[in-house]
Amino acid sequence: MNIEWIRERVSTALMNVCIIENGPLSAMEEQAILVTDRFKRNPIRYAGERKSRYRLPSHPLKIKQKHVKGKSKPLINEVTYRTSSWRRGIHQLPNEMRLWLLYCYGDYQYYREQILIVPYIWHEFQRLNSKKRITKKVKQRLQSLTLLAIQAVKAEINQTAKKYTDVKLAELLGVSADAWRKSYKLYWICLLDCCYQLDRDSLFKISALS
């Protein structure tokens, strides 16, 4: 299945739909107006005297239904309805996949989710490099780049990428460009790959659920 098609569906499902429309109660009020020509209200009637006095059953009002002018608005807009299965599917995903899709394809309201993804990406990085000898200092510096890797991959997917050169990344870590290329660059690429893999896994999983 085309991954770009899935991305489009997820983005549409999570976008903040700002369509000016009436709420459900207002829309229901537009459906019909009941008009009575016989009574303004149904009066209470009694019969008998004193202790024998009793209340008569109310007569049904003679009414007619009058439709309002114009076309009533739907209770839910079409985009929200069509993408409801995708939103349900997203919230059925494993936590790391749900957080990734909300952050990467949702609007600004999901900004905090990037922080919650960091532990998963770092765990995956450590798993993939478990047999390699990485010094504690290098590992600490790489861990500090995890959030940046998440942000960089999201920007790349959304075509708003800010390119990080080797020199810039070396400056961020406080090391020389030569040290970056020798000791850090391949690990940085691995961090990016962990993010891309999470993206692919999440998209194919949500496609199967929706």
**Tens digits of per-residue pLDDT, 102-124?**
999 987 667 788 899 999 999 99
Going from the C-alpha of 167 to that of each of 80, 138, 177, 182, 184, the distances in angstroms are 45, 17, 5, 13, 12
H-type alpha helices, 77-184:
78-82, 84-90, 95-105, 113-128, 136-144, 146-157, 166-173, 177-183
For residue 64, the model assigns a pLDDT of 58
Q: Is the pTM of this model over 0.95?
A: no
Least confident of 28-32, 137-141, 155-159: 28-32
Using left for φ > 0, alpha for ψ between -120 and 50, and beta otherwise, residue 149 falls in: alpha
Contacts of 142 (CB under 8 A, 6+ apart): 125, 134, 184, 187, 188, 191
Q: How far apart are CA 110 and CA 68, in angstroms?
A: 41
Q: Is the pLDDT of residue 6 over 80?
A: yes
Q: What is the pLDDT of residue 122?
A: 98
pLDDT of residue 9: 93
* Confidence tier at 20 by pLDDT (50, 70, 90): very low
- The predicted model gives 135-161 an average pLDDT of 94
Q: Convert the pLDDT of each residue in 22-76 to its tens digit.
A: 455 555 554 554 454 554 556 667 777 777 777 767 666 555 555 555 555 666 6
CA distance linking residue 169 with residue 140, whole number of Å: 15
Is-contact 30 72, C-beta < 8 A?
A: yes
Residue 18 pLDDT > 50: no
